[in-house]
A and B are shown apart, each in its own frame.
Chain A
Amino acid sequence: MHIPDGFLNITTVATTYVVSAGGVGNAVRVANRKLSEKQVPLMGVLAAFIFAAQMLNFPIAGGTSGHVIGAALAAILLGPWAAVLVMSCVLIAQSLIFQDGGLLALGANIFNMGIIASFAGYYGYRLVNSLLGSSRRGKLVGSAFGAWSSVLLASIACAIELALSGASPIGVVLPAMAGVHALIGIGEGLITAAVLSLVMATRADLMQLQRI
């Protein structure tokens, strides 16, 4: 879902840059106000963790493989604003070091996989929690639903940006992207739930981290 340079037109590039700068700027403000200096090394290591977790591929179908985005996982564990910060750093590093996602498209990529995915993941999780109660089952179902909706909504945002840039008509790119990612999202959801199930079994205290 990392958009390379060349796909987005300049209006979309400028708009997504402004929106993402606002979102990340607010995440920085919230972090500066609420987090102590202790959290900074921790978030750095966790950014490295998200990066490494994305390298663990799992087979999907027909010889292809996929990996998790991790935004929902980060948002559920650390809170949505912290997840925006961590994901933005991961995306900046991926763009600069691996050329995975363009530099001009960075605004769009941070918007999709950083901001949209984190908030969709967090509020999807909270929604199910409030419906099912925050029992173990509620948390697992909530995290799976949150992760699934984070992937789906991020792909829809990505499709809209591509369509607005004139790369492909909306009637084609939106159902294609959303359809494919509704399936990929199931993988993300199941794996996120499995991760939380392990964390709850071994270090349940990490489920009660300070969230921002």
Chain B
Amino acid sequence: MKHGFLDQYSDRDSFIHRLDPRTKFIISFLFILVVVLTPPDSWLVYMLYAALMAGLLLVGKLPAGYVLKRSLIIMPFVLLIALFIPFFKEGEVAGSYNMWLWQVTVTYSGLQVLVNIVIKSWLSILSLIWLTSTTKLPHLLRGLEKVRLPRVMVMILSFMYRYLFIVVDEAMRMKQARDSRNFGGGRRWQVTTIGNMIGTLFIRSYERGERVYVAMAARGFDGHIRTLNHLSFRVADAYFGIGGILVLTLISLFTFLF
């Protein structure tokens, strides 16, 4: 089956693609940090952040349609959590509704918080899309190892990345087989079916993990992974890193001016 969802476009070539993964990770993290720290009513500052992110995505040669689609996929889940908010903030009442047993009140300050949180989430999501769409995952993992993510986790993550496609394929094939056999029936039957599927998937994954280890041991694996690509900071990284931090500081200073 086809998986277009993992680090697509990360093999393109651009100024951003050539940067060290650590530089991009740090800038992306700082971007999210300053966005989250922005007070609710600084609309101008949000626009500046959005413009900055648009610029970064443009320099990274990422298609706007792709980025937009990716960022919107996750928004329903954000809204699901955010929907609680406008009803329960105190303040000027925007509207009051009778829903079954509850008297529900929507307030303006609640709505403002809702819009504010959705904007923050969306900008943060764009930042992560920018990071992972311009960085190959193995490189990103090496970068994370260099910024002190424990080695055993980096190794688990790299094995996970390598076998994800295969295991997801297996799961999707089971799902296809299930659906083509008219999945339905009573609740009990459904639970048993899903349980059997996940159980089978577990046993197959476990056996695959054992085979993988045996194959690796046969090739001399001793618990260390050696690679040829070594990360190194270049002059461009220094310019981009310092420039990025300066711009982010400047924009966040705007918060106090307006």
Q: Which residues of A contact B (CB under 8 A)?
A: 2-8, 10, 13, 24-25, 28, 31-32, 37-38, 40-49, 51-53, 55-56, 58-59, 68, 73, 77, 85-86, 88-90, 92-93, 95-100, 102-104, 162, 167-169, 172-173, 176, 187, 190-199, 202-203, 206
How far is B161's CA from A51's CA once the two chains are assembled, in angstroms? Answer: 10
C-alpha spacing A196/B205, complex, angstroms: 15
Q: Is the CB of A172 within 8 A of B202?
A: no
A85: contacting residue among B156, B162, B198, B221, CB under 8 A: B156
Quick one: which of A13, A48, A95, A176 contacts B205, CB cutoff 8 A?
A48
Q: Which of B11-19, B55-63, B163-171 contacts A (4 or more CB under 8 A)?
A: B163-171
Q: Is the CB of A55 within 8 A of B172?
A: yes
B74 contacts A99, CB within 8 Å? yes
Q: Is the CB of B117 within 8 A of A6?
A: yes
B66 contacts the other chain (CB 8 A): no
Check A42/B206 contact, CB under 8 A, given A6-B117, A190-B191: yes
Distance A162 CA – B78 CA, assembled complex (angstroms): 13
- B138: chain A residues at CB < 8 Å are none
Contact: A103 with B128, CB < 8 Å? Answer: yes
Does B150 touch A at the CB level, under 8 Å?
Answer: yes
Interface of chain B: mostly helix, strand, loop or mixed: helix
Number of A-B contacts (CB under 8 A): 243
A38, A45, A59, A99: the one contacting B71 at CB < 8 Å is A99
Range of interface residues on B (Cβ < 8 Å) = 35 or more
- B residues within 8 A CB of A102? 32, 121, 124-125, 128
Task: Give the CA-CA distance A162 to B194 in the complex, in Å.
Answer: 32
Contact B194 A206 (CB under 8 A): no
Cβ-defined contact, A99 with B198, below 8 A: no
- B223: A residues at CB distance < 8 A: 37, 40
Q: Interface digits, B110-139 against A, CB 8 Å rule (1 contact, 0 not)?
A: 000100111111001101110110000100
Flag whether B160 is at the interface (Cβ < 8 A). yes
**8 Å CB contact of A53 from B6, B120, B127, B198:** B198
Kindly identify which residue among A89, A187, A202 contacts B153, using a CB–CB cutoff of 8 Å. Answer: A89
Partner pick for B196 among A53, A86, A194, CB 8 A cutoff:
A194
Which residues on the B side are within 8 Å of A68 (C-beta)?
198
- The answer to whether B209 and A203 have CB atoms under 8 Å apart is no
Residues on the A chain within 8 Å of B217, using CB: 38
B74, B199, B206, B221: residue with the most chain A Cβ atoms closer than 10 Å: B199
Q: Point out the residues of chain A lying under 8 angstroms from B140, CB to CB.
A: 96
The 8 closest A-B pairs by CB, nearest first: A194-B195, A44-B159, A6-B120, A198-B199, A37-B223, A5-B124, A45-B209, A42-B209
